[in-house]
Amino acid sequence: MTNPTVGTVIKANVTDENDKYFFAQVDGFTYEIDKTELEKPLKLGGFVTGFAYENENHRLQITKQMPTVQKDIYGWGTVVANRHDLGVFVSIGLPNKDLVVSIDDLPTIQALWPQKGDKLLLSIKEDKKGRLWGEIAQQNIVAAVSRRATPELKSKTVKATVYRNKIAGTLVITDEYYLGFIHPSQRDDEPRLGQVVDARVIGVRDDGALNLSIKPLAYKTMSEDAQFLLLQLQRRADHFMPFNDKSNPESIKRQFGFSKSQFKRALGHLYKERLIEQVDDGIKLVEK
């Protein structure tokens, strides 16, 4: 028989006690209340208010320690473990119970499952047998709690949590509750569900959502020679230098301190990243 009070805050009538627990009843169900979490004893015949659930020993319990989520109330939980045949276990603040998000509600690709320490926005749902499960927030729920971003966020770095993996890209929500989108071209590897990423804002859309990138900035991935060459261009007022891949090796060595082959490799990297362009008799920084 399902229990409509499980997963919610209830008020129950205290009916009995033993050394470890008080017992309270509501609607024909009996719950135990751990005495160690009470500041003062309950009175038999009185009432107790708390969160009702089935604990890890499959006994009904009421706790004063309110979880971060309830039925139809969404909040953040922290992943504590996963089991490939069942799903992931999420801590929601209960003293002796983790919520399971079913394998049916997780990405098909197991590499994209949340790992220990990841965050999930979820609520509680109850199945036909009265068991409580974690229900991951769908896009409409996430949108309902989100805020509109402003253009000033362009080029800023934000922390964001993945709430959905799609073929078209990764959907995230930032710590400030801005919605974000990471196109596959703006990541080296697809982040997993629940993963917290540091992302760079590359655009703010008209609807207030962010276009994000988690690829490292070009200068962080280029060689020291390319970084040095880029710096030389940036320091010049006209962002121009009279050198190209046909320049004299001795002139290159004198100016930059490295060989022509090193210079050509550095040029190639900067061209590939679209940081420079070739102009008459030299190279010039691309205006961004």
Q: Domain 147-213: give its CATH superfamily.
A: Nucleic acid-binding proteins (2.40.50.140)
Q: Cα 61 vs. chain centroid, distance in angstroms?
A: 31
**Six-digit token pair at 236?**
């010049």
| Tens-place pLDDT, residues 261-279 | 888 988 888 888 888 998 8
The CATH number of the domain covering residues in 219-285: 1.10.10.10
Task: Tell me, yes or no, if the pTM score tops 0.85.
Answer: no
The CATH 1.10.10.10 portion of the chain extends over 219-285
| Tens-place pLDDT, residues 144-197 | 999 999 999 988 999 999 999 999 999 999 999 999 999 998 998 999 999 999
**Six-digit token pair at 271?**
């061209």
| Tens-place pLDDT, residues 45-63 | 999 999 999 998 889 999 9
Give the start-end residues of each E strand in 64-144. Answer: 75-83, 87-91, 99-102, 119-126, 132-136
Cα(189)–Cα(174) distance, integer angstroms: 19
Diameter of the chain by CA atoms? Answer: 97
In this prediction, residue 125 has a pLDDT band, given cuts at 50, 70 and 90, of very high
Domain 9-63, architecture per CATH: Beta Barrel (2.40)
The CATH 2.40.50.330 portion of the chain extends over 9-63
The CATH 2.40.50.140 portion of the chain extends over 75-137, 147-213
Domain 75-137, architecture per CATH: Beta Barrel (2.40)
Backbone angles phi, psi at 190, to 5 degrees: -75, 125
